[in-house]
Structure 1
Amino acid sequence: MLFLQMDWSNISPIEKKSQEPTYKTTNETLIFGPDRICNYFGTVIGSFSGGGVPETDVYSWQITSPSGEVEFDRTGGFQTISFTFSDVGIYQVQLEILRGGISIGSELKEVELVPSPDILLEENNFLCAGESLDLVALDPESPDFEDYQFEWLDEDNNVIGDQNTISVSTPGFFSVRFFLLDSEGNLECETTISTEILDTGAFSILSDKSEICPTELISFSSDPPISGDWFFEKIGDPGKVFFTSGEEITINPNSALDGEGDYLVYFELTDPNNPNCKIETSRPFTFNPEPQIEFVSAESADGCSGTDGKLFIRALTPIDLLTVEGLGFSEMSIPAGKTIEIPNLKSGAYSIFGQLGNCFNTLTAIVPLNNPPDQLEFEIIDEIGETCTDEGKLEGSFTVKLENTGTNGGYRLFNERGAIIIESSLPGTDEFTLTVPGGNYFFELFDESLCNLPQSEKIEIESLNLVSYTSPTFLSICDEFELTPQTSQNLEFALTYPDGSEEIQQSGESFTILDEGTYTLVGRIPGQSVICPVTREIQVEKVEPVTFEPVLISEDCFGNRTFEANIFGRDPATVDFFWFDENEDLVGTGQFLNPVSTGTYRLDVQPSNSTACSNDPIPFEVREPVLSVDISLTTTKLCEFGPEAIVNLETTFPDEVTNIRWRRFNEAGEIVELPQFNDLNEIQTRVGGTYEVAVFRFIPGISVEECELGRATVQLDLTPDKVAFDIPSELTICERFELTPDTNQELDFFITSPSGSISEISTGESIVLDQTGVYTFLAFDQNSPTPFCPEQKEILVSRVQPVVYEPVLVEEFCDGSSLYSAELQNYSSEDVVFFWRDNTGNLLGQAQTLTITNPGSYSLEVQPAGSTPCEISPIAFEVAEPVLSVDVSLTSEPFCPDASSALVTVQSDFEQITTIEWWFTDPDGNQRQLNDLTNEREISASLEGSYEARVFNDIPCLLGREEILILRSQDEVRPDVDSVYQICPRLEIAPEINPGNFASYEWYFEDQLVSTSPTFKPLQIGNFDLIVTSLEGCTYSASFETEEECELRVQFPTAITPQDNQKPFLIYTNYLVDELELWIFNQWGELIFHCKNDQLITEESTCLWDGTYRGEKIPNGAYSIRINLVNYEKNINKTQLGSLMVID
């Protein structure tokens, strides 16, 4: 519940205060603004201010149109408002001022929106010489014309008139101010308009030239600049021809004029207010033709140095000046049809220049050479015209063939218009070829002495036409581009891609461009060689699509918003912006947009100077601006003991509200700002008064200013009715006490303990009181809504400590009874009450001590005297069955022959035993107590005789006794082992050692236990120890060592005396030999003795031989011996050879 989060311990009663307002309604003017507004431009903004105190007051504005429709309805802290008026008629502006939610005054003001008068004054007027001009400001038929007042000013700001019409006779700038006066004489609808009076005689036409050629343009403009009508007239033709209107014009003579000749251009302008005064001015210009001349004939020059050559040139048009390049010849004013002789010429090619006005033309003419020197003789051969290739055309060519080789000099090639195309030294060969485009040329050869030999005839190189098409030379694309070459011919196009692949399309078909790089496009007409292909390179650059998003960056309080196309750092100059409104109309092409309608807009941003990327425009919503919201304030009760009253704010369009501010009006009308409640939709308060809330919208980085969306107030008063319940005012408890408040209402209680902790119970439930101090009970009605406020009461609790006690066994008796006492720690026996009970709860006694004769479960409870019982559990204790006797047994170790003593151990229930006494009786019957062994559970018996153990409890009572006879052992059996054993660890060959019959065995190698078997096979080299335990329990030990022997060995004598018992033939083997076989041979290989034994004993002799053969001594000499040795375990066979000397 909400209340569990409150700190109720500090709640104090609220004083009841009167909430009657002290405001008074004023009769002063509350609305300040115009009575009349003039609508000159379709709409007009009017501003109005209210009275009152803006720091404390709330203004409720309402504006009703002439049709009765409420067009403006706002309530808030804005003292001044602006409203756009559009309909002519009477508007009603109504204001109510509230302070602390109470109206302190209201006013209704009528405002007339009057239409604009009809303005007659033109921006420009014309004044003819010797005339005057009437200037009229307004149409007299305009609404309320008779109420307007006027003030005319000249360009020096001198007042020159106060009527609607004035007369002027001088040019210049004039202005008129007209206005209305309200009832108090204040100016309304003040407007100023101006005009310029122009002198018609001061107009002229400006031009950049007076003559033009066919290849030039000519421009004209009015001075001063003013828009009018333009005409031109060819002198000699009847009538003017209209050209266009404007301040200036530009004429292309080839398209606009009717051939060469003299022309007049006219500028005309008529003032509708002064139709008799007309502006008309003109300016002449000449359209000159291009001068035309032709070659008539030539006379040859005699010899290289001869100057008797001549040229004859005819003028086809008038010629102002005729000149020859490089010569001083010139002739002026040549009429059309005249032939001009140019004498005194050396042989060679000449450029003839003709000039007509500022137009020029040129011509090449040849003066032949008679009797040319042999070294300059040449012939023009192999004139080849242009030829088509797969990708274009090759230039034509001709070959110059020199009649004589070794000529030093040079050559020149002229075109028809006299321009030198090629000039170079001779290559040193008798033939050389020149490559030139199609056309007519003149060739000239000259030597080192500048003797010129021209080719009299023109060199005609046939020219071929090219196919015609257009295509871009550079493309900037985004994703892809459909390239369609434009042509009016039926062409085939071949496009080579940057990777070298080729694609062919026909006219009107497209190529898809995807990658950047250099593309080659060839346009051709297949199957013919008259019209040549054209090859063009297209450079393709690929640009990245623009990453963008529409972002709202600005919004004011009147719904005006600015969106920005965020392009994430990209240069705006490199992209194009396209904003579309909800009707898909393009409404903006800049980076920013101020929308004038609502709905789903779309933004598209594309790279500039590139094809469009395929990304879709991004839609975004332009919502209807929320300029105000409806506010609802609800409250809970304000009660003396809480909970705090909750004032809840709800608004329409809650997402639009970003800031909330609260304030309170007290009974004196003073305002208390409540910044601690800023931006809270719900506040809690314990103070009554008039609460006002204002809501605003402010989005950082977007909002131009904080915009108030609405304001509302609510009255909060103290509620007197409370819930009813009873609790004692004081209470003494022991350790804790469960208290149930007395009430007949359904209540929830919040109890604050002296420590400050809060507990919650409901009607009929109890609260545990376990602290000393004041408990505060705050009760709330469970029903909601309820007419009752919470009630608060207190209890002073005194607390005593519970008794700290323990039942203690004081004394036990040998008959089985025991005495218990209650041992106290924090009370004396006079201040407490004792309760001894058996396991059924029967009270056995109330004294401090109790004698118990029967075993069982008992309990003791001790409470403080004169106090409510402490909530403690009685201490339970058990009286066990008394132990009057226990079993006692004695065990002993054997008293071994070589031991100094034997260990005797007593076994019994030692938990019941406190004391152990030992008694000894010798073989003679003498008994004595062994006092130094008292309470020992094990003793050492060093003497033969009878030992007795007696056990007692702590009373002390004798619980049991037992005795045992101790005699020394007579056993003489010991372990039987050799001191040394031969073994072979690598072959795992060793003897099996059997020490005899004992109860247990422990074999140790180098102090490590290696076996507990009765027998043992050692496989390690070193020292061994054996510990055995006899059947009586006595231990005995023996030691031995092992030596390594891994060879099968045999020993025998090297000499014997036959039948000598002191020197017989004996043979010995080691432990590895399991079988031995012996052969003895004489000198002739005859076997004289053989022996085989598989029951060998280590280091014992075998195969005894006395040195006889068939009962006779064998002769002296050397005899051969062969011995075979076998080990069964490892399957080892060994043969050993030797010799034996027989000496007798």
Structure 2
Amino acid sequence: MGNYGHFLGLKGMKCLFICVLIFLSGSGFGKNIENNNPNDHTFYGLNSTPELTGPDNLCIIFGSAIADFSGGGNPATDVYNWVITNSSGQEHFSRNGGATFQNISVQFSEFGNYNISLNVRRGNDIIYTGSKTLSVIQGPELVLKPDYLLCGSEPAIITAINPNTPNIGSYIFEWRNPAGVLVGDQNELTVHEEGQYFITLYLSNSSGGTDCQINGNTYVGPPRDFSLLISNDQICQGNSINISVDTPLIGEWLIQKVGVSPLNSVGTAYELTLDSETDLDGPGNYRVVFRNQDDQYPNCVSERDIYFSIHERVEFNISDVFPAGDCDSPNGSFRFNADSPIELLRIPELTFSANNLAQGESVLFENLYPGIYTIETQLDGCSRNEVIVVPNSSPVPEMLFTVTEFEESCTPVGKMDGSIRVEFLNGPFTGQYRIVEANAALSLSGAISNASFFEVDLPGGQYAIEIISQTGCKLPQESFIDIAIKEFVSFSIPEVVNVCGSMDFVPATEENLLFILTYPSGEQVSKEAGQSFILDVPGIYQVLGRSTEIEPALCPRSQQFEVVLINQPNFEPVLESEDCFGNKLYRAELFGTDPSNLSIRWYDRNFEIVGRGVQWYPTGYGEFYLNVQPRGSALCESNPKLFEVTQPVFEVDVELTSGLICPGGLLTTVVLESDFEEVDRIEWIYIDLNGVQSTLTQFANEKQIDVGLVGTYEAVVYNRIGCEIGRDLILVLESESQERPEVRASYSICSESGYGEIVDPGSFVSYEWFFEGEFISDSPTLKLNRGGQYSLFVTNQDGCVFEASFSTFEDCTFQFVFPNAMVLNDPDKIFEIIVNDAVDFAQLWIHNRQGELFYFCEGKDVQSRLAFCQWDGMKNGKYIPVGNYTMTLWIRSSRFGLEKKISQNLTVLK
């Protein structure tokens, strides 16, 4: 993915290449990401007319391309049904949904013509149908990377598209630098300066517009982040300048006079100090380059440069110097000649001052006493001072003197100043002395009291000296005193070292030195040049460097520096925002640290740089790393944070199921099935039979709902960022089934024999039997065996549930009625038997006292409460004799499994 640069915007990897083009320029993606909620949209009004809009042509890049289409309409109420088919009529894309799908982005990977069709539903009505054709053609192959390394003085060559693109000459290229200035119009751009570079390329069409426009950007910069610091970018000739690095890095320093000399190396160090007189080639503009090698990028040098200017100083010369005859004859003189314009000329000893001398102008100073005179000049803020000696031709003998010079000398920890010894040739002298450095930078004076000699310590350099008598007469030495300078060993360290935890510190030198490091605690550690010291304690350190030669020519040098401990940055990669088409924006969470103080790098899994800065747009899916280091400090221990850019889920299956609404105001349940791990919010919509639509807010986020109104129910599911990822609808009707459970109000049982009636309510899909509120069976029929209250719930084929209830009673006790007397020949007084419904079989015998059988009767399938075995008292056609008889009744219950025998007297009357 590294070769795709910031053309990759991740429209769910559907938008891997083109969709980035807007958000990378900062004009589109940020706004889209911040407004992901599909309910947050422009309100078009209930009468907004849908319209299908989109491109006519699309270029494929990296094997695929993204086209954006819009349906218009009112996203608050409209449902958009998109279908895209290829030239063979095969379906390429099909999605259906609300606000999320008012605008769609579709990936295409095959050339050809595609038909884009859209219908828009508002409520139950299709209010718009439209179609258009899209031509998908081959686009250029983009090769721009997200990041390029700028290595040393070599420029980076950045390329937008494959140079072998067949119609590359037809493309228009526009490269812009970080300031937005147009810097290139070809496929390749040569980059010398660090920064973000932007490319726009496109084809011109016949109408003057642009086709296949592509926007992208990349960053070009060195591997390491550091800055150069300069003491002053404008100095005067004769002054020094210091250039350092804001980070404790050793590197090579190079310098050139712009437009005059090549880039020349001046050594390896932490910092660079330049003397404009001895190290540089006069006034002009200079460029200083610092190069550092990073072990992580062995073939790429990090380089920074900085510029400064040296201003011309005053140019003059002194001529015609004539000595004074003596202190009583002020006839000395000299001539000052201006070799350049001079804004100010001043000689303090003469209280002389003049302004604005022209080049070539001269001033003669006459009638001068012997002595040292200071020449002070200024031009454009730059000063040049020198001294001139007017000799004394006839000094008095007692003032005559000689000067002996002693050079500077080394000590174990540095060096000592040189000195002079002044001896008076004619005995002790009383008066004064004055010593002035040749450039007038140092002036010393002192008293001489009846001394034959005196000594003065002086740093190395050139000096003028004069002896002054008590009467004010001056005797200057005509020649300058020259005290030899003793040079120090050379090494470089930074003044302040910011350390993250600890640091291996190596003083930079090209000489054979021994270094002694004194820690803040006073502990001393010695190391040879090239060996490292450990810095892990804050405070002031002292470094002493001394030559390892037996007879060193250079003096030891001591220098202090400060160690400041800083904390390792606390950081985390966080997903800042994402939109409904997979575009993601990550941010380096810095927990309040100023990002300008940090070096931020985003890496791919191969640790190739793919981004710099606080915000980062992913270049693909997979594993990436974020590493943050402090600027201006030794690097902290590397601790890159691993994170994964996951491919988003754009769609889940949604299915609704329901039964029918049942008579009697009963509800039915609509059940939603989906991948609920991806679902964050559920919305329910009801559309009545007249097409009026309403949102069922009371059912928000419910996975099933109980409803009682006929109509269409629609469920819409959204992900955690508010994007619609699926929907389904179902029409719910009312059941027309007339089936009901058929049961009596009561049933008999017989606990004694275990008898119970069997209840059969009819044919249904399911049954639930309850006794005294406790579930007892789900069988189609139920054999009763306990006395009490029963409930039955049956479900028919439409899913409707009906309830019935009944009770049971004990009914296995025999009940019977028959007379104990009868009147012959009286129809109202005949003999008959009545039994309850427990009896289903009976036999009757009537005997006289002698045992003779007069009447027998057998009853089968006896009916409850109905008389049977009716007898008028006749036998063989004649009435039986009046008197007393014995009646025997035997009854039986097949249902209860019981039988009983009863005997009783029967009186027959006439």
Band the TM-score falls in, shorter-chain normalisation: 0.5 to 0.7
Secondary structure at the aligned position of 1:546 is classed as coil
Q: Deviations over 1:873-910 (max 9, x none)?
A: xxxxxxxxxxxxxxxxxxxxxxxxxxxxxxxxxxxxxx
Query: Contact conserved, 1:523 with 1:533, CA < 8 A, in 2?
Result: yes
Q: Does 1:451 align with 2:466?
A: no
Query: Contact conserved, 1:312 with 1:342, CA < 8 A, in 2?
Result: yes
Structure-2 change in CA distance of 1:189 and 1:41 (3 Å): farther
Aligned to 1:422: 443
Query: Contact conserved, 1:739 with 1:769, CA < 8 A, in 2?
Result: no
For residues 2-401 of structure 1, the aligned pairs below 5 Å read 31-33=51-53, 36=56, 47-49=69-71, 56-63=77-84, 73-78=94-99, 80-83=102-105, 90-98=113-121, 106-111=129-134, 291=315, 293=317, 300-310=323-333, 325-326=347-348, 327=350, 343-351=366-374, 363-373=386-396, 376=399, 378-381=401-404, 383-401=405-423
| Counterpart Cα distance in 1 of 2:571 and 2:756 | 72
Query: Contact conserved, 1:347 with 1:454, CA < 8 A, in 2?
Result: yes
Aligned to 1:504: 526
Give the C-alpha shift of residue 695 in structure 1: 0.8
Give the C-alpha shift of residue 733 in structure 1: 10
Q: Deviations over 1:263-310 (max 9, x none)?
A: xxxxxxxxxxxxxxxxxxxxxxxx9898474778x6543432321335
Q: Does 1:412 align with 2:434?
A: yes
Query: Contact conserved, 1:520 with 1:537, CA < 8 A, in 2?
Result: yes
Give the C-alpha shift of residue 93 in structure 1: 1.8
Opposite residue 615 of structure 2, the aligned amino acid is F
For residues 364-763 of structure 1, the aligned pairs below 5 Å read 364-373=387-396, 376=399, 378-381=401-404, 383-401=405-423, 407-408=430-431, 410-417=432-439, 419=440, 421-426=442-447, 430=451, 432-447=454-469, 449-526=471-548, 527-635=550-658, 645-652=668-675, 654-685=676-707, 689-698=711-720, 703=721, 706-717=722-733, 727-730=743-746, 742-743=759-760, 748-751=767-770, 757=773, 759-763=775-779
Opposite residue 33 of structure 1, the aligned amino acid is T
Query: Contact conserved, 1:478 with 1:612, CA < 8 A, in 2?
Result: yes
| Counterpart Cα distance in 2 of 1:67 and 1:304 | 119
| Counterpart Cα distance in 2 of 1:84 and 1:436 | 85
5+ residue gaps, structure 2: 1-47, 140-166, 171-203, 213-234, 240-257, 264-275, 285-310, 812-895, 897-910
Aligned to 2:806: 795
Q: TM-score, normalised by structure 2?
A: 0.55
Report how many residues are paired. 609
Structure-2 change in CA distance of 1:571 and 1:329 (3 Å): closer
| Counterpart Cα distance in 2 of 1:464 and 1:332 | 40
Opposite residue 581 of structure 2, the aligned amino acid is F
Give the C-alpha shift of residue 614 in structure 1: 1.4
Give the C-alpha shift of residue 75 in structure 1: 1.7
Aligned to 1:152: none
Give the C-alpha shift of residue 525 in structure 1: 1.4
Query: Contact conserved, 1:393 with 1:532, CA < 8 A, in 2?
Result: yes
Query: Contact conserved, 1:291 with 1:356, CA < 8 A, in 2?
Result: no
| Counterpart Cα distance in 2 of 1:454 and 1:386 | 24
Opposite residue 617 of structure 1, the aligned amino acid is P
Structure-2 change in CA distance of 1:759 and 1:41 (3 Å): closer
Instruction: Flag the structure with more relative contact order, 1 or 2, with Cα contacts below 8 A and sequence separation at least 6.
Output: 2
Q: Deviations over 1:767-816 (max 9, x none)?
A: 86656xxx5411369xxxx898655322268999xxxxxxxxxxxxxxxx
Give the C-alpha shift of residue 627 in structure 1: 3.0
Query: Contact conserved, 1:604 with 1:618, CA < 8 A, in 2?
Result: yes
| Counterpart Cα distance in 2 of 1:357 and 1:667 | 93
Opposite residue 768 of structure 2, the aligned amino acid is F
Query: Contact conserved, 2:52 with 2:131, CA < 8 A, in 1?
Result: no
| Counterpart Cα distance in 1 of 2:568 and 2:660 | 63
Aligned to 2:198: none
Query: Contact conserved, 1:659 with 1:679, CA < 8 A, in 2?
Result: yes
5+ residue gaps, structure 1: 1-27, 117-141, 146-177, 182-186, 192-211, 217-231, 235-240, 244-252, 262-286, 801-868, 870-1144
Give the C-alpha shift of residue 531 in structure 1: 1.1
| Counterpart Cα distance in 2 of 1:334 and 1:571 | 57
Q: Deviations over 1:923-975 (max 9, x none)?
A: xxxxxxxxxxxxxxxxxxxxxxxxxxxxxxxxxxxxxxxxxxxxxxxxxxxxx
Query: Contact conserved, 2:750 with 2:785, CA < 8 A, in 1?
Result: no
| Counterpart Cα distance in 1 of 2:419 and 2:597 | 49
| Counterpart Cα distance in 2 of 1:289 and 1:502 | 46
| Counterpart Cα distance in 2 of 1:355 and 1:100 | 89
Secondary structure at the aligned position of 1:563 is classed as strand
Secondary structure at the aligned position of 2:329 is classed as coil
Aligned to 1:949: none
Structure-2 change in CA distance of 1:65 and 1:442 (3 Å): farther
| Counterpart Cα distance in 1 of 2:399 and 2:758 | 146
Give the C-alpha shift of residue 61 in structure 1: 1.6
Secondary structure at the aligned position of 2:677 is classed as helix
Structure-2 change in CA distance of 1:741 and 1:39 (3 Å): same
Secondary structure at the aligned position of 2:698 is classed as helix
| Counterpart Cα distance in 2 of 1:629 and 1:615 | 41
| Counterpart Cα distance in 1 of 2:476 and 2:90 | 100
| Counterpart Cα distance in 2 of 1:662 and 1:329 | 96
Secondary structure at the aligned position of 1:676 is classed as helix
Aligned to 1:808: none
Give the C-alpha shift of residue 541 in structure 1: 0.3
Q: Deviations over 1:110-138 (max 9, x none)?
A: 2468999xxxxxxxxxxxxxxxxxxxxxx
| Counterpart Cα distance in 1 of 2:81 and 2:518 | 76
Q: TM-score, normalised by structure 1?
A: 0.45
Query: Contact conserved, 2:575 with 2:587, CA < 8 A, in 1?
Result: yes
Give the C-alpha shift of residue 660 in structure 1: 0.5
Structure-2 change in CA distance of 1:334 and 1:661 (3 Å): closer
Structure-2 change in CA distance of 1:601 and 1:68 (3 Å): farther
Structure-2 change in CA distance of 1:716 and 1:582 (3 Å): farther
| Counterpart Cα distance in 2 of 1:584 and 1:646 | 55
Opposite residue 504 of structure 2, the aligned amino acid is E
RMSD of Structure 2 on Structure 1 (CA) = 5.6
| Counterpart Cα distance in 2 of 1:768 and 1:569 | 78
Identity level (%): 27
Give the C-alpha shift of residue 594 in structure 1: 3.3
| Counterpart Cα distance in 2 of 1:67 and 1:609 | 63
Query: Contact conserved, 2:585 with 2:615, CA < 8 A, in 1?
Result: yes
Q: Does 1:779 align with 2:771?
A: no
Secondary structure at the aligned position of 1:468 is classed as coil
Give the C-alpha shift of residue 68 in structure 1: 8.7
Secondary structure at the aligned position of 2:725 is classed as strand
Aligned to 1:277: none
Aligned to 1:939: none
| Counterpart Cα distance in 1 of 2:810 and 2:596 | 87
| Counterpart Cα distance in 1 of 2:638 and 2:353 | 72
Query: Contact conserved, 2:53 with 2:71, CA < 8 A, in 1?
Result: yes
Secondary structure at the aligned position of 1:471 is classed as coil
